[in-house]
Amino acid sequence: MALMEPEERELVEFIYRSIPVEDRGDLTPDDILLVLDLMDDYLEEQGLLREDPKTGEMEYLDGEVDETEQLNYVLSAMNEEGRAITGVQIQLIQDAELQYGIKKGYYEEE
């Protein structure tokens, strides 16, 4: 796995373990990390994520995320990278990332 901060590693491991083995296929932790990065790229393009100029930290801004549009964005980018991944796998990663965020208190349950 690529070099990651401890919390990022915890997130990727949580997501990987959350995906049922039968849905995992050839999916690797590095694929999950790339999907997470692409999800953030999508949010940046939509104006929902930006770097705080004072702290350098990334901050999520209020707004609605079109999960279908985000999924299509990620799927297209992964295909361009030559990474074999399905829409179902991306959706499972999105869902597990949300569950992790709820568990950690980053997100509220809807």
Relative to beta strand 58-60, strand 49-51 is antiparallel
pLDDT value of position 43: 92
pLDDT value of position 110: 61
pLDDT value of position 92: 95
pLDDT value of position 104: 83
Structural domain boundaries in the chain? 6-104
- E-strand ranges in the chain read 49-51, 58-60
pLDDT value of position 1: 52
Q: Which tokens sit at 16?
A: 């990987």
How would you write the pLDDT of the chain (110 residues) with one tens digit per residue?
A: 556 688 889 999 999 999 999 999 899 999 999 999 999 999 999 988 888 888 888 777 788 888 889 999 999 999 898 888 999 999 999 999 989 988 888 777 66
User: Of 105, 88, 106, which is closest to residue 20 (Cα–Cα)?
Assistant: 88
pLDDT value of position 84: 84
pTM of the model: 0.84
